[in-house]
A and B are shown apart, each in its own frame.
Chain A
């Protein structure tokens, strides 16, 4: 299975009478977009804004971020929602790089997700560097939370697919080819190099903690071996609202840097064979079952080593450690990627679970670190919720409109796939 990612560099996005692409400028027919995404009669109002890097704008609370993409034959991506199941991960996909679709909405009172396009907050989110088409959607106040979440989730996918099709008019700036080979063939190649796989953990704990695989709620899946090219084509969709800093928005699944890096070093440092998707469920029985099946699958594939990325924190720390222990017990080396909740001074224990086998861990940052965000000229969304945003605390919204929050409240600040603006330095 081969996928060509045809990347188109976007320099500017604007509204116009017709959809078009010219010299790096994406023009969106706003009315066309609105009629495409108004998919549910419970939507009360829709507003669309374009925000650019450096503008004095704060967006909150951000629900999801999605990259506009389309299959070059005109079909959508996101199998199970929009795209055709048999096309995902194969053929060619056009990518509008440098822009996103961002949805906002207040699903529950303590929702979070701040993106500042300018100032100190902008340094902590990758989405201050992209041109964002921000969709503010209002639903009636008494809308049930699950329905509200679903309306926003589907709306984001529809908008990204609609805008993604504009890219079909463009000439790609570069084309990358990714291949997923039959295991028997893949294992024979580079047989002097270690066989490496990726254990891709997905939040799956109910309302606000959900992820979808081919449209299926991830808490209902058993671990699955999947072509990384399918992930690039939107096989994984975020239904996750909480913990802005380390939830994997749909954009991050589409652009998973762990997968890209594993491909980049494939054939040189190791032999990358594919990804095992697994969940992070609530019951201890589910945690045992999923981690056992992950380890058995890794063993059957013949992996020598695996990268394991967590999504979220709290009881998923237990899933991370179970996956690590069970793989190591089978002689499969592991490297874990997680962020930390080590208190504001960074001195407390970082994870809720630990094990001696977890001896190779990459951190993506301490989500408890606090930061002061100055007031912005313009706020898209609902600033009054800042006080109850996870990572915010009583009195965090000052009279002048500035906010004091933990990094946890900033979208993508400590992303556990590594798509962050944080780095570390040795002394």
Chain B
């Protein structure tokens, strides 16, 4: 069984996000994109280049893809991490299936208050890793 590898503090970390409320982290690079789909696709590209996932690409128990914002933390590496690719392809497949049925939501249709709440929830999911750096 392939395993998720642990993160080392010396590793270079990168966040892919479409969350405008994500602050700039110390010593952590941020790649900003517009849509949820772009977050997943950009992350997949990076995994294919040797980055590996530090956080899970799916949110916690919100309705799948209800939150228009997503931030994913990766660590730089040199070899393809198959477990990361598997987890990410699964997430992309889930996303596509929800998008086909028009069940994903984009932030444009939401009130400012709601956007802010979703942004907070997404930020909180990765805050622990931001503080560590």
Residues of chain A at the chain B interface (Cβ within 8 Å): 108-110, 145, 203, 205-209, 240, 242-243, 246-247, 280, 282-285, 287-288, 311-318, 325, 329, 341, 343-344, 348-349, 352-353, 388, 390-391, 393-394, 406, 408
Contact = CB atoms under 8 A, between A and B. Distances in A.
Nearest to B83: A284
A283 B111 CA distance: 30
B54 A353 contact: no
B90 A282 contact: no
Given A285-B5, A311-B61, 14 more contacts: A109-B117, A110-B114, A282-B56, A284-B56, A287-B56, A288-B4, A288-B6, A312-B61, A313-B61, A313-B64, A314-B61, A315-B60, A316-B61, A393-B103
Given A316-B60, A329-B1, A390-B66, A145 B54 contact: no
A353 B58 CA distance: 11
Contacts of A343: 97, 101
- The 7 A-B pairs of least Cβ separation, nearest first, read A312-B61, A284-B4, A315-B56, A243-B61, A206-B124, A205-B60, A108-B117
Contacts of A243: 61-63
30 contacts: A110-B66, A110-B118, A205-B60, A205-B125, A206-B121, A207-B121, A209-B61, A282-B55, A282-B126, A283-B128, A284-B87, A285-B7, A285-B54, A288-B6, A312-B61, A313-B61, A314-B58, A314-B59, A314-B61, A315-B58, A316-B60, A317-B58, A325-B1, A341-B64, A343-B97, A349-B97, A352-B58, A352-B90, A388-B114, A390-B62
A242 B94 contact: no
A242 to B, nearest CB: 5
A288 B97 CA distance: 28
Interface residue tally on B, bucketed by range: 35 or more
B54 A284 contact: yes
B113 interface: yes
Contacts of B9: none
B129 interface: yes
Given A205-B60, A318-B87, A353-B90, A285 B124 contact: no
Given A287-B56, A288-B4, A314-B60, A206 B127 contact: yes
A282 B61 contact: no
Given A282-B55, A318-B56, A348-B97, A288 B3 contact: yes
Interface string B1-45: 101111100000000000000000000000000000000000000
B51 to A, nearest CB: 13
Contacts of B121: 108, 206-208
B120 interface: yes
B91 A352 contact: yes
A318 B61 CA distance: 12
Contacts of B101: 343-344
Contacts of B59: 314-315
B85 interface: no
Contact of B63 (A108, A203, A408): A408
Nearest to A357: B1
A203 B66 CA distance: 18
